[in-house]
Structure 1
Amino acid sequence: MKKSAFLIPLAILVGATALSSVFIVDERERALVLQFGQVKAVKAEPGLAFKVPLIQEVVKYDDRILSRDIDPLEVTPSDDRRLVVDAFARYRIADVVQFRQAVGVGGIRAAEDRLDSVLRANTREVLGSVSSNDILSSDRAALMMRIRNAAAEEAQGLGLEIVDVRLKRTDLPEQNLEATFARMRAEREREAADEIARGDEAAQRIRAQSDRTVVELVSDARRESEIIRGQADAQRNRVFAEAFGADEEFFEFYRSLNAYKEALGKGKASMVLSPDSEFFEYLRQADRPAAAPAPAQAPTSN
């Protein structure tokens, strides 16, 4: 009984010791075996691994690509136009031994704090060497590559590999937005005024050209109408002249009738003329009785 009471705790102790010497390495992790703070082994392959219980300890680190957002920071490009830049980085732990030696027990949090400092410093340095137009243009891809390459050199000392750096947002500081918007509005208003002035100038030029065209067309039309009217008057006078030459008495009669029509045919005009006036010559002739026909002569017989 006493022997069994002694063996059971011993078996439990041995089992616990055996279990504490075994650990599992996940495929997404890397493990360091430490003995009194010194690295004794690196376990990169997934599966079961062993360590000396009570003396050695295991520290695991994520072997996947990790993401780190950088707090927004203000940069001053070469044209002194301040910008607020929001960026993020993709990184992974490339050398777990160097990483452990660089950050110690602080682990991933301490590494990310130091990585933030590296990224912020290189972002300010690279973006400060170019103009704001370059940052806002398609050239920003090359700028992000420069930031990544510069940060990668410093991150190697931490055992980290910088996979990528991206600029998520590039804005103006809040205190500069209103002034920038006012300047943009003023520029657009100036452009609008220039467009309106050019439009007015073009409208005046077109209006002057149209007025000139109207004057020319009216002048040509009047000239042609005067020519046609002159030709018609000439033809009318020629007809009258021919008619006058053919029968002078009929022509005089026709002119008198037209004179009567113009003088007496409209309104209630009164005319005071002598009855013997030549104006009523044809009216007096109309009042005369017609002459009797001459009697026919009888035929004479031989």
Structure 2
Amino acid sequence: MRKTQLTIGALVVATAAVFQAIYIVDERETALELRFGEVKEEVRNPGLYFKVPLIDEVVKYDDRILPLDTRKLEVTPADGRRLEVDAFARWRIIDAKEFRRSVGAGGIDGAASRLERILNAELRAVLGKVNSGVVLSADRILLMNQIRDRARSQSVDLGIEVVDVRIKSADLPQQNLEATFERMRAERQRLAADEIARGNEAAQRLRATADRTVVETTSEARKNAQIIRGEADARRNGILAEALGRDAEFYTFLRSLQAYETSLGGDNSSLVISPDSEFFDYLKSEGGRP
């Protein structure tokens, strides 16, 4: 019985030792076999491998392109207009041994932290040489390529390659944005006030011109009316004078009829006059003035 137990224990220990001695490398990974912390072997091909238990250690790194989203960074372009830049990068490990020597046990997270510092420095360096209008424009691919190349050269010692760098957004800081909006609003209000003032000035000129035209037209009409009225009166007086010259008695009779029409034309006309007045000569005599 005791022998059986010892045999089972030995099998368990042997099985555990076998499991500790083997490791599997995935096709998406690169493995480093370490002995007492030093790199012994780099394994890039996928498969089943063996190591010395309790002595050797295996560290695996992802061979795929890895993301890096940086925190928003405040930069100052050449025109002094501060911007908040949000960027991201894509990178991968190209030399696992160099990567291990550079970042040690920090691994992917430690490399991402160091790469972010490199990327922030290059963002400030490149964007600080151009005006903010270039950064805010859609045509900033050259800037992103320049940042990528500079970050790539700075990260070679880490055993990694920066595949791409992109600027997701570049905006004014919130306080600057509000101040800019206020300046834009004040500028639009000033332009509106200028337009209103110019419109009022033009309206005043039009009203003055119209008033002057009315006065001139009215004056001209009154002058023409006076002339026509004067000409009519002159013609009338000429006709009357001609009638008087031809027949004084008829002229007197006509003037008397006009006087009767004027004085007696109302509904309630009263005259206080002497009966023997000459006013009634044509009313009293059938044959006219005696």
- TM-score, normalising length: structure 2: 0.77
In structure 2, the CA distance between the partners of 1:68 and 1:238, relative to structure 1 (3 Å rule), is: farther
Once the two structures are superposed, residues 147-186 of structure 1 have per-residue CA deviations (whole angstroms, 9 ceiling, x without a partner) of: 2232222123223333222243422264x56654554444
Shift of 1:204: 1.9
Is the partner of 2:86 in helix, strand or coil? Answer: strand
Measured in 2, the distance between the counterparts of 1:159 and 1:83 equals 32
Residue type of the partner of 2:48?
A
Measured in 1, the distance between the counterparts of 2:245 and 2:94 equals 129
Residue type of the partner of 2:150?
A
Are the aligned partners of 2:39 and 2:97 in contact in 1 as well (CA < 8 Å)? no
Residue type of the partner of 2:260?
Y
In structure 2, the CA distance between the partners of 1:94 and 1:202, relative to structure 1 (3 Å rule), is: farther
Are the aligned partners of 1:86 and 1:167 in contact in 2 as well (CA < 8 Å)? yes
Measured in 1, the distance between the counterparts of 2:182 and 2:42 equals 64
Once the two structures are superposed, residues 186-241 of structure 1 have per-residue CA deviations (whole angstroms, 9 ceiling, x without a partner) of: 43333233222222222223223333443454455556656766776678778878
Are the aligned partners of 2:70 and 2:87 in contact in 1 as well (CA < 8 Å)? yes
Shift of 1:62: 2.5
Q: Which residue number in structure 2 is paired with residue 51 of structure 1?
A: 50
Measured in 1, the distance between the counterparts of 2:45 and 2:218 equals 100
- TM-score, normalising length: structure 1: 0.74
Shift of 1:111: 0.7
Shift of 1:250: 5.6
Residue type of the partner of 1:170?
D
Q: Which residue number in structure 1 is paired with residue 100 of structure 2?
A: 100
Q: Which residue number in structure 2 is paired with residue 34 of structure 1?
A: 34
Q: Superposition pairs for residues 48-127 of structure 1, below 5 Å?
A: 48-54=47-53, 55-127=55-127
Q: Which residue number in structure 2 is paired with residue 255 of structure 1?
A: 255
Once the two structures are superposed, residues 19-51 of structure 1 have per-residue CA deviations (whole angstroms, 9 ceiling, x without a partner) of: 334333345433333333215122254xx3212
Q: Which residue number in structure 2 is paired with residue 284 of structure 1?
A: 284
Aligned pair count reads 284
In structure 2, the CA distance between the partners of 1:200 and 1:44, relative to structure 1 (3 Å rule), is: farther
Provide structure 1 residue ranges, at least 5 long, that are not aligned to the other structure: 290-302
Deviates most, 222-231 or 30-39: 222-231
When Rg is computed on C-alpha atoms for both structures, the one with the higher figure is: 1
Q: Superposition pairs for residues 206-285 of structure 1, below 5 Å?
A: 206-219=206-219, 221-222=221-222, 252-266=252-266, 268=269, 270-272=271-273, 275-277=276-278, 279-285=279-285
Are the aligned partners of 1:155 and 1:161 in contact in 2 as well (CA < 8 Å)? yes
In structure 2, the CA distance between the partners of 1:110 and 1:274, relative to structure 1 (3 Å rule), is: same
Measured in 2, the distance between the counterparts of 1:244 and 1:58 equals 147
Measured in 1, the distance between the counterparts of 2:96 and 2:139 equals 35
Are the aligned partners of 2:32 and 2:41 in contact in 1 as well (CA < 8 Å)? yes
Once the two structures are superposed, residues 108-166 of structure 1 have per-residue CA deviations (whole angstroms, 9 ceiling, x without a partner) of: 12111111211111111122212233333334444333322322221232233332222
Q: Which residue number in structure 2 is paired with residue 129 of structure 1?
A: 129
Is the partner of 2:31 in helix, strand or coil? Answer: strand
Residue type of the partner of 1:129?
K
In structure 2, the CA distance between the partners of 1:265 and 1:20, relative to structure 1 (3 Å rule), is: same
In structure 2, the CA distance between the partners of 1:62 and 1:203, relative to structure 1 (3 Å rule), is: farther
Measured in 1, the distance between the counterparts of 2:25 and 2:226 equals 113
Measured in 1, the distance between the counterparts of 2:216 and 2:137 equals 56
Are the aligned partners of 1:34 and 1:41 in contact in 2 as well (CA < 8 Å)? no
Shift of 1:103: 0.9
Shift of 1:5: 4.6
In structure 2, the CA distance between the partners of 1:276 and 1:4, relative to structure 1 (3 Å rule), is: closer
Residue type of the partner of 2:99?
F
In structure 2, the CA distance between the partners of 1:242 and 1:194, relative to structure 1 (3 Å rule), is: same
Measured in 2, the distance between the counterparts of 1:138 and 1:238 equals 93
Measured in 1, the distance between the counterparts of 2:130 and 2:77 equals 6
Deviates most, 237-246 or 92-101: 237-246
Are the aligned partners of 2:83 and 2:170 in contact in 1 as well (CA < 8 Å)? no
Once the two structures are superposed, residues 244-292 of structure 1 have per-residue CA deviations (whole angstroms, 9 ceiling, x without a partner) of: 8998766654432222122233465645467242x33321224x79xxx
Percent of aligned positions with the same letter in both sequences?
49
